[in-house]
Amino acid sequence: MSHGYAGTTDQYLARLRRIEGQVRGLQRMVADGDYCIDILTQVSAAQSALDSVAMCLLKDHMSHCIVAAAQESDEAARIKIDEATKAIARLVKS
Amino acid sequence: MSHGYAGTTDQYLARLRRIEGQVRGLQRMVADGDYCIDILTQVSAAQSALDSVAMCLLKDHMSHCIVAAAQESDEAARIKIDEATKAIARLVKS
Amino acid sequence: MSHGYAGTTDQYLARLRRIEGQVRGLQRMVADGDYCIDILTQVSAAQSALDSVAMCLLKDHMSHCIVAAAQESDEAARIKIDEATKAIARLVKS
Amino acid sequence: MSHGYAGTTDQYLARLRRIEGQVRGLQRMVADGDYCIDILTQVSAAQSALDSVAMCLLKDHMSHCIVAAAQESDEAARIKIDEATKAIARLVKS
């Protein structure tokens, strides 16, 4: 089955590779003994980049999976919306 | 100059390597066409792990750099606290 | 027009009144000169309560407005999902 | 004993009264049947206002209580920093 983000897999991979690079950059900063506050600034940057990826995934998910479920039945929509709400709550807390 | 986290560099590196692994895991999930909500759950896990690293860095920073500045002078403390407050505000927003 | 939360207006009002009480409690704590960390703990409690209200509103909104839009047309759904994604991004950042 | 925010009690009270007004505004919006997304926007605004109050309290706390503890002894500083780190972690999660 194809998912909401199927048409944009390459863009997600490119963004995740950049985030992987940011996390490797953090390791270099720690190994080099960089200043704590500069490392914290880069941690915040990595978290913002992960937030952006999450928002895109969520939008793709609503646009495809939730819309398809709503067009199938109210019950199918209810299940998808329960699931999405829990995922959003985890993002809000993380 | 040695920083707040100097004594625990290896632990930070181990945690950041695990987070790098989580981000590579996200790439595999996207490449494999995993379900959006499962990917979002892993994004939240990576963000919680980054949050934990940030909290430890911040605690080490306060325990060493801010305490040392406070023992040096009120003005030195003021500068460090301004800087730390901005870093915390970025974490709260990210 | 009736909105997603129409059937549960009273519950939302009860929760918001409790949050109003928490914010008045914060004013009493400040006026009484309570300890900063105790005040911060209550600020976090008020924010968690607001987060819960936001999650419920969002779920009601998806269950009613987005499902109705999806059942009307793909274009109607697209507009609602754009709007909801922006609201979720604001919650994640706030 | 006077706390970090003692000199600015009135400013904190003014800000908290504005936030109380925002929460009452939310109750009016719900009672009037306003659109869910508009209510969510106001919830985010109230949360940002609470975040700002929290950041100011934290800065005042570090500037007074933590600096005073650091000037007293390393052990006194350690206790205050443990406590502050837990409060910051709650803010990051809330």
Of B54, B70, B91, nearest to D70 by CB-CB distance is: B70
CA distance A86 to A79: 11
Domain of B31 in residue numbering reads as: 8-93
CA distance B36 to B21: 19
Structural domain includes residue A26: yes
Q: CA-CA distances (angstroms) from residue D44 to B53, C67, D34, D50, D61?
A: 26, 24, 16, 10, 25
pLDDT, one tens digit per residue, over D13-53 is 999 999 999 999 999 999 999 999 999 999 999 999 999 99
How many domains, chain C?
1
| Residues D13-34 as b or e (16 or more Cβ within 10 Å = b) | eebbeebbebbeebbebbeeee
CA distance B70 to B81: 10
CA distance D94 to D91: 5
Structural domain includes residue B42: yes
pLDDT band at D1 (very low <50, low <70, confident <90, very high): very low
Sign of CA dihedral D50, D52, D55, D60: negative
The amino acid that residue A20 corresponds to is E
| pTM higher than the cut 0.90 | yes
Structural domain includes residue A76: yes
pLDDT of chain C, 94 residues: tens digit per residue: 467 777 799 999 999 999 999 999 999 999 999 999 999 999 999 999 999 999 999 999 999 999 999 999 999 999 999 999 999 999 998 8
ipTM of the complex: 0.93
- B interface with D, Cβ–Cβ < 8 A, is 51, 54-55, 58-59, 62-63, 66-67, 70-71, 74, 77-78, 81-82, 84-85, 88-89, 91-93
Structural domain includes residue D12: yes
Mutation pick from B47, B51, B62, B65 vs chain A, by most beta carbons of A within 10 Å, is B47
User: Which DSSP string do the residues of chain C spell out, in sequence order?
Assistant: ---TTGGGHHHHHHHHHHHHHHHHHHHHHHHTT--HHHHHHHHHHHHHHHHHHHHHHHHHHIIIIIHHHHHH-HHHHHHHHHHHHHHHHHHHH-
Structural domain includes residue D31: yes
Determine the average pLDDT of the residues in A38-64.
Answer: 96
In this structure, what token pair is assigned to residue C93? 């950042």
SS (H, E, C) B37-48: HHHHHHHHHHHH
Give CA angle at A62 (A57, A64), nearest 5°: 95
Q: Which residue of C has its CA nearest to A94?
A: C92
CA distance C49 to A56: 26
Structural domain includes residue A61: yes
Q: What's the alpha-carbon Rg for chain C, to the nearest Å?
A: 17
Structural domain includes residue D1: no
CA distance A46 to A29: 14
CB of C81 within 8 A of CB of C71?
A: no
Q: B33: left (phi > 0), else alpha (psi -120 to 50), else beta? A: left
Q: Which residues of D touch B54 (CB under 8 A)?
A: 92
Structural domain includes residue A25: yes
Chains with 3 or more CB pairs closer than 8 angstroms to A? B, C
Mutation pick from A23, A35, A62, A82 vs chain B, by most beta carbons of B within 10 Å, is A23
CA distance B84 to D86: 15
CATH classification at residue C15: 1.20.58.1000
